[in-house]
Amino acid sequence: MNIRLILAIVTISLALVFYTSGVFSERRSGDLKLKHIILFGLGLVFDTTGTTIMSKIAAGSTVAVNPLHQITGMAAILLMVFHLIWAIYVLLKGNPKAKANFHKFSIVVWLFWLIPYFVGMFIGMGA
């Protein structure tokens, strides 16, 4: 197995771990905290890193790229960026109601993020 592919798989998997930890930790606490924002940020960094590596691998390949995976992957990263910015805004604003309800948005973003994660996994297993 190619070292770049291994690195991409590890970073994407770390994104899953950090983002999932952030979403469910924030949900359990019922209150958005700085540690959750850090976990969201780490998830975004690892996802972007893994996606970049995977894109470079795909660019050098003769195998057709799945458009569903590309579109949902880019949308997921954009949602993660918006989610992180929104989380920072909500935390800085300090509105207790907004902080208490933030987890609803987190779950939606996380669920959407799972689409390209699993599509990519199934594509990779089929190759």
Residue 87: the pLDDT is 96
Distances (CA, A) of 96 to 38, 54, 56, 66: 20, 40, 43, 42
Distances (CA, A) of 116 to 22, 40, 77: 19, 17, 10
Answer for the pair 25, 35: CB distance below 8 angstroms, yes or no: yes
DSSP 57: H
Residue 84: the pLDDT is 97
Q: What's the CA gap between 61 and 14, in Å, rounded?
A: 25
Instruction: Give the tens place of pLDDT for each residue, 79-126.
Output: 999 999 999 999 999 888 888 788 889 999 999 999 999 988 887 766
Instruction: Give the tens place of pLDDT for each residue, 45-74.
Output: 999 999 999 888 888 776 667 788 889 999
pLDDT at 19 over 90: yes
The tokens of 89 are what? 């805004």
pLDDT at 1 over 90: no
Residue 31: the pLDDT is 86
